């Protein structure tokens, strides 16, 4: 494992056995300015109570895997969290107490979940985004600008595709893009979102923002934002071909948050795009 020091950010990775968790662990291990303090797993997980390196089938690493995160969070400066809404909300209470940066890539959060996270942000730095990649965050800026430039003669449709294991729809990224389009139009997404069409639905509502979710295979993440008018269509697209773009963004956010102070932030803040 890499060396620790005053300039090295100690990080806890939640759900280290998952695809994103494993990628984050490897990325942090190779980073010159960060190190792993520990990894958390759900109670009863076969990795819990073991050394991370041994759990991954290698040599001992000195990094513990635990189903009781209190002790490792107390020793960390940041937690990176791509897990479930329930686990994220529970962790936010610990990061608030520890004053640790909480980087959240979890999607499917309810308004009630977000209320809890907002309370935690009064005590610690929270960086939450539906997508941690630079490309997607640039795309949200472009979508907002295009939506502001075009009137309701241009229908907005958002099409997203993900792997068969994704459990929430629309994706967090699709909702980010929808929020950006709604902001460009000067409306709230809740007022104009159309998330389901089936059967005899009638004509499309003018000004609606439609969402469509595709699930299949091992698709990492494809997102199209379509502006369709009579005679022309504009399509803005982002395709993720490697999950490392999300891991790199999350690590950047964890380091960016050091010394930032309490508050709720997103990747636009981290990337200086706001």
Structural domain count of the chain:
2
Is the pLDDT at 175 greater than 80? The verdict is yes
15 and 110 co-located in one domain = yes
Of 53, 117, 118, 125, nearest to 87 by C-alpha is: 117
The domain of 60 spans: 9-128+243-270
pLDDT band at 119 (very low <50, low <70, confident <90, very high): very high
Is the pLDDT at 5 greater than 80? The verdict is no
**Is 50 considered catalytic here?**
no
**Is 166 considered catalytic here?**
yes
61 and 113 co-located in one domain = yes
Domain harbouring 116, CATH code? 3.40.50.720
Which region among 5-9, 160-164, 200-204, 224-228 has the lowest average model confidence (pLDDT)?
Answer: 5-9
For residue range 196-220, what is the model confidence (pLDDT) as tens digits? 889 999 999 999 999 999 999 999 9
Which residue out of 35, 102, 162, 238 is catalytically annotated? 162
143 and 216 co-located in one domain = yes
Which residue out of 45, 50, 123, 166 is catalytically annotated? 166
Structure tokens at 263: 């508050």
Is the pLDDT at 191 greater than 60? The verdict is yes
Q: What is the pLDDT of residue 7?
A: 85
pTM: 0.82
Angle at Cα 188 formed by Cα 182 and Cα 194, nearest 5°? Answer: 75
């Amino acid at each position: 494992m890499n060396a620790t020091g005053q300039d090295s950010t100690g990080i806890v990775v939640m759900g280290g056995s998952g695809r994103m968790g494993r990628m984050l662990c490897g990325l942090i291990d190779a980073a010159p300015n960060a190190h792993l303090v520990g990894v958390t797993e759900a109670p009863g997980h076969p990795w819990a109570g073991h050394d991370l390196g041994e759990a991954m089938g290698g040599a001992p690493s000195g990094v513990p895997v635990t189903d009781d995160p209190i002790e490792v969070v107390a020793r960390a400066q940041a937690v990176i969290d791509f897990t479930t809404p329930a686990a994220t909300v529970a962790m936010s209470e610990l990061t608030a107490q520890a004053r640790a940066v909480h980087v959240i890539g979890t999607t499917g959060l309810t308004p009630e979940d977000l209320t809890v996270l907002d309370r935690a942000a009064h005590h610690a730095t929270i960086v939450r985004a539906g997508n941690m990649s630079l490309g997607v965050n640039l795309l949200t800026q472009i979508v907002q600008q295009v939506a502001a430039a075009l009137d309701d003669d241009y229908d907005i449709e958002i099409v997203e595709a993900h792997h068969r294991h994704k459990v929430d729809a629309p994706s967090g990224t699709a909702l980010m893009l929808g929020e950006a389009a709604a902001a460009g139009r000067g409306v709230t997404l809740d007022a104009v979102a159309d998330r389901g069409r089936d059967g005899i639905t009638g004509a499309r509502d003018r000004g609606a923002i439609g969402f469509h979710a595709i699930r299949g295979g091992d698709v990492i993440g494809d997102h199209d934002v379509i502006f369709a008018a009579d005679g022309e269509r504009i399509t803005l697209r982002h395709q993720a071909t490697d999950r490392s773009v999300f891991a790199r963004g999350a690590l950047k956010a964890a380091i960016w948050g050091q010394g930032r102070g309490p508050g709720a932030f997103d990747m636009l803040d981290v990337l200086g795009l706001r």
